[in-house]
Amino acid sequence: MVKRTSFERDDCPIARSLDAIGDWWSILIIREAFFGVSRFSEFQKKLGLAKNILTVRLRALVDQGILKTAPASDGSAYQEYLLTPKGRGVFPILVALRQWSEEFDAHPEEIATILVDKEKGRPVRKLELYSQDGRLLGAGDTTLKPRLAGKQSKRAYS
Amino acid sequence: MVKRTSFERDDCPIARSLDAIGDWWSILIIREAFFGVSRFSEFQKKLGLAKNILTVRLRALVDQGILKTAPASDGSAYQEYLLTPKGRGVFPILVALRQWSEEFDAHPEEIATILVDKEKGRPVRKLELYSQDGRLLGAGDTTLKPRLAGKQSKRAYS
DNA sequence: GCAATCTAGTTTAATCATGCAACCATCGGA
DNA sequence: TCCGATGGTTGCATGATTAAACTAGATTGC
């Protein structure tokens, strides 16, 4: 990924997430895993990325505990890559990315799929952020506080 | 960004979002913009990225309608970079990234800040996804449908 | 049981984006 | 007019990405 200042030691959680899954392929691999893709060759066929890159990405995702390898499942001797709880936790990020594109993309008519709830088959609502007492929050209604008590941060999501 | 198969023509909205903001710096630039950062030199100081890269990224973000340039505001002759509605629409993505890190990071004690609601100063809840009739949905409760009517997609967020 | 094919990689070479540093033009203040 | 800050641009070295060739073991077909 080109010599990058790793954000691993950054104290911003956004930067830390990006450090883990902030490249194109990692997120798309996780997306495919949600679709049920689990084998090396399947990932490669669906995503069309170079196999060496896939090798590196899969290994990194396993190292980070986002995917785990299981010895088999369909009887074949090959291993498969499955989402861990941490990997499944990426779901809201995928939904957020999807909804942003649905709302703001310049050519929404080219988007092929809609996320619907399985039971009723109807589109889901937008992701919603609530305060602990149940108020719906927008960007302007939130601010950042240092984790360890102390004084209010000046940095606010305006 | 290294000769990349551009996802611009991909029909998956996640891929399309990644194509727009799927690199490390773009998202961090948007994060800073939410913090109120608006000038070239501020972005450069806070993020510590090379100025040429910042130039390219800012231009790309402006081209995509995520940032817009305004001639001034504090009287100086320099321009400033402001979030457009499309840019402010990235907020849920930032929150999702933040919450994923908060929940799954191997060293959460290194995270410096907490997102709180401005009014009460208390941490926000997790992002929630609801069906149109108000049921809280997890990854397993959703599936994908082709946008243009027709038959159910086999690809489900399992 | 043998050959063909599939799987999951590794290796290699060419390419091209990235990051860094140095340079440059403009603006504002003294 | 000089000086520092601002907002870039240019050039080069690094190294990430890719396609393609190669490999070794597993599986399937016959």
Instruction: Find the helix or strand (DSSP H, E) in which A35 lies.
Output: none
Residues of A in contact with B16 (CB under 8 A): 101, 105, 110-111
Tens of pLDDT, residues B13-63: 998 898 888 887 899 899 999 999 999 988 888 888 888 888 888 998 998
Domains of chain B, earliest start first: 13-88 (1.10.10.10), 91-126 (no CATH), 128-158 (no CATH)
pLDDT score recorded for residue B3: 46
- Determine the distance in angstroms separating the CA of B49 from the nearest CA of chain A, rounded to an integer: 9
Q: How confident is the model at residue A78 (pLDDT cuts 50, 70, 90)?
A: confident
Rounded CA-CA distance B27/B21 in Å is: 6
* B111 to A5, A82, B42, B74, B120: CA distances (angstroms): 18, 28, 23, 33, 21
Phi-psi region of B45 (alpha: psi -120 to 50; beta: other; left: phi over 0): alpha
Please, what's the b/e burial string for A78-100 (b: 16 or more CB within 10 A of its CB; e: otherwise)? eebbebeebbbbbbbbbbbbbbb
D1 C1' to A156 CA distance, Å: 42
Q: Which two tokens stand for residue B8?
A: 């611009």
pLDDT at A152: 46
Bridge partners of residue A68, in order along the sequence? A82
Q: How many C-beta neighbours within 10 Å does residue B84 have?
A: 15
Q: Smallest Cα–Cα separation from B96: which of A91, A24, A134?
A: A91
Distance in angstroms: CA A79, C1' C19: 38
How far is C-alpha B116 from the chain's CA centre?
Answer: 18
Would the CB atoms of A100 and B93 count as touching at under 8 Å?
A: yes
A114 - beta bridge partners? Answer: B145
Quick check: B149 CB within 7 A of strand D?
no
Distance from CA of B55 to the nearest CA of A (A): 17
Tokens of A119: 């039971």
Within 7 A of a protein CB, which nucleotides of strand C? 6-12, 15-22, 27-28
Residue with tokens 């100025």: B51
Distance B146 CA to C19 C1' (A): 42
Contact criterion met (CB < 8 Å) for B139 and A91:
yes
Q: Which helix (H) or strand (E) holds B48?
A: none
Could you list the beta-strand ranges (E) of chain B: 67-70, 80-83, 113-117, 142-146
Best residue in B6, B104, B147, B148 for a mutation probing chain A (most A CBs within 10 Å): B104
Q: What is the ipTM of this complex?
A: 0.89
pLDDT of the residue at A151: 46
* Digit-coded pLDDT (tens) for A94-122: 999 999 999 999 888 889 899 999 999 99
Contacts with A56 (C-beta within 8 Å, 6 or more apart), sequence order: none
| Integer Cα distance of B123 and B8 in angstroms | 36
Of the candidates A153, A141, A103, the residue with the CA atom closest to the CA atom of residue B125: A141
CA of B153 to C1' of C9 (A): 31
CB contact under 8 A, B129 and A95: yes
pLDDT digits (tens, 9 = 90+) for A40-51: 999 999 888 889
Q: What is the pLDDT of residue A3?
A: 43
Question: Is A116:A73 a contact under the CB 8 Å cutoff?
Answer: no
Q: Indicate if the alpha-carbon torsion angle B22, B10, A92, B62 is positive or negative.
A: positive
Residues whose CB falls within 7 A of nucleic chain C?
A 2-5, 39-42, 51-52, 55, 58, 78-80; B 1-4, 23-25, 49-53, 56, 76-77
The vertex-B92 CA angle with B35 and B126, nearest 5°, equals: 105
Three-class SS state of B114: strand
pLDDT in tens, B70-123: 876 665 667 889 999 999 999 999 999 999 999 999 888 889 899 999 999 999
Residue carrying structure tokens 């896939």: A54
Q: Residue B79 and residue B39: Cα distance in Å, rounded?
A: 7
